[in-house]
Amino acid sequence: MSRRDRLKGLFDDTAQELAAANYEESSSRGAAGPVRTMALTLGRMEEESRAMQEALLSGERIVELDPDLIDSSFVRDRLADQPLDMEDELVQSIAENGQEVPVLVRRHPDDEARYQIAYGHRRLQAVRLLGRKVQAIVRQLDDTDVVIAQGIENSARRNLSYIERAVFAFNLELKGFERPVIMKALSTDKTELSKLLSVAKAIPAEIVRSVGAAPGIGRRKWMALAQDWNGITAARLAKLIASERFMSEESDRRFELLVAELARKEAKPEPTEYDWKPKSGGKIAGRIKSAGNSFTIALKTGDAPDFGAYISRRLDELYEAYRAGKLQAGE
């Protein structure tokens, strides 16, 4: 069998595998938005497979590159890298049979001596691990081409989790990509994209990073968390996410611990209330109430009618003295 026929067969097999992987993913998510977009995903991957196949069969040049000269994409799609090892099936396959399918790269937009990968991240990892040159097609691609190719790759067997898709969409929007481009990169529709973006915007990035990819946590749970997030600060969760127990758990379990902590009602301190009168005497008196973050002083000024105004004028001075005392005490 010629190299051309072998490559054609590999592309046909890849298209079938990607279709099967996406069918399984859609089945596990239920008959919601992702099912509506499955046809978009399959159609887009078929187009890319056909384009790559046509490029190879038309004689587009495959070159050998030093993997260390190839940088990753300019926009992250995964919350954490998924490194390969020598036991990985892909690594073993390339070690035994060589790299059959080339990666797709472009010249790095900021450094002509380097490249930036658009498609084939795992193949690049595997070849780098084996200490070999990487087979690559160098093509002129703009940023839109790169993110769409990146989305195609993520529609394959190792799919992005729901929160990774949300963060990827948000990162693309922050970089100025229009929503039609983002929809194409994620193989999704307008409604589903709006939900992804709402989740990524509602939940602070540091919380998402702490939880991680959470591959078993789907759209409904992330959306419920986003809808309940209003008024919650990351500071409230600082103790939890810094704890050894939290960090030692797998990502899905960290999500569950986060939700449980948010569901727990914080104990409110008992309010205190007492009266005040000056030690030096006089007809002035005060009623002081303290409850959590609320502190109230009600004055009956009696024979000192301007005492309230006197305090008001000196609030800045009193607050700065308070802060200085805290700093001196190391608090």
pLDDT band at residue 285 using 50, 70 and 90 as cut-offs = confident
> Which pLDDT score, from 0 to 100, does residue 295 have?
84
240 plus 271 within the same structural domain? no
205 plus 295 within the same structural domain? no
* Cα gap 105→139, rounded to integer Å: 6
Report, as an integer, the average pLDDT of 267-294: 81
242 plus 279 within the same structural domain? no
For the ranges 35-49, 84-98, 166-180, 198-212, the lowest mean pLDDT is seen at 35-49
Q: Residue 83: pLDDT above 80?
A: no
Please check whether residue 250 lies inside any domain of the structure. yes
Q: Of 102, 132, 104, 111, which Cα lies nearest the Cα of 3?
A: 102
* Cα gap 219→199, rounded to integer Å: 9
Please check whether residue 192 lies inside any domain of the structure. yes
Q: Residue 52: pLDDT above 80?
A: no
185 plus 218 within the same structural domain? yes
The helix (H) or strand (E) run that includes residue 175 is none
- Tell me how many degrees the CA angle 100-102-105 measures, rounded to the nearest 5: 170
- Convert the pLDDT of each residue in 258-279 to its tens digit: 999 888 765 566 778 888 888 8
Q: Residue 208: pLDDT above 90?
A: yes
Find the DSSP H helices in the chain: 3-29, 33-36, 38-57, 89-97, 121-130, 143-154, 162-174, 179-186, 190-202, 205-211, 219-228, 238-241, 244-248, 251-263, 307-313, 315-328
Last residue of a domain, one of 205, 235, 261: 261
Last residue of a domain, one of 205, 240, 261: 261
Q: Residue 87: pLDDT above 60?
A: yes
Please check whether residue 238 lies inside any domain of the structure. yes
* Cα gap 12→6, rounded to integer Å: 10
Q: Residue 15: pLDDT above 70?
A: no
255 plus 270 within the same structural domain? no
pLDDT band at residue 181 using 50, 70 and 90 as cut-offs = very high
246 plus 176 within the same structural domain? yes
Please check whether residue 53 lies inside any domain of the structure. no
Q: Residue 58: pLDDT above 90?
A: no
* Cα gap 259→78, rounded to integer Å: 22
- Rounded to the nearest 5°, which phi and psi values hold at 62? -100, 130
Q: How many residues does the chain have?
A: 331
Compute how many other C-beta atoms are within 10 angstroms of the C-beta atom of residue 79: 20
Q: Residue 232: pLDDT above 50?
A: yes
DSSP-assigned states of every residue in 190-226: HHHHHHHHHHHHHS-HHHHHHH---TT--HHHHHHHH
279 plus 208 within the same structural domain? no
pLDDT band at residue 54 using 50, 70 and 90 as cut-offs = low
- Residue predicted with more confidence, 258 or 48: 258
> Which pLDDT score, from 0 to 100, does residue 331 have?
59
* Cα gap 11→4, rounded to integer Å: 11
Please, what sign has the CA dihedral across residues 138, 139, 141, 146? Answer: negative
Q: Residue 303: pLDDT above 80?
A: yes
> Which pLDDT score, from 0 to 100, does residue 122 have?
84
Q: Residue 127: pLDDT above 90?
A: yes
Q: State the average pLDDT for the chain.
A: 79
Report, as an integer, the average pLDDT of 20-34: 43
Please check whether residue 165 lies inside any domain of the structure. yes
How many domains are there within the chain? Answer: 2
174 plus 221 within the same structural domain? yes
Please check whether residue 112 lies inside any domain of the structure. no
Report, as an integer, the average pLDDT of 275-292: 84
231 plus 201 within the same structural domain? yes
> Which pLDDT score, from 0 to 100, does residue 10 have?
39
Please check whether residue 254 lies inside any domain of the structure. yes
209 plus 296 within the same structural domain? no
> Which pLDDT score, from 0 to 100, does residue 307 have?
84
For the ranges 154-158, 194-198, 320-324, the lowest mean pLDDT is seen at 154-158
> Which pLDDT score, from 0 to 100, does residue 95 have?
92
User: CATH no. for residue 187?
Assistant: 1.10.10
* Cα gap 74→80, rounded to integer Å: 15
Q: Please report, rounded to a whole number, the percentage of residues in the chain having pLDDT higher than 90.
A: 33
Report, as an integer, the average pLDDT of 117-133: 90
256 plus 163 within the same structural domain? yes
Please check whether residue 241 lies inside any domain of the structure. yes
Report, as an integer, the average pLDDT of 36-61: 53
- For residue 200, give its domain range: 159-261
171 plus 257 within the same structural domain? yes
Q: Residue 248: pLDDT above 80?
A: yes
The helix (H) or strand (E) run that includes residue 80 is none
Last residue of a domain, one of 212, 245, 261: 261
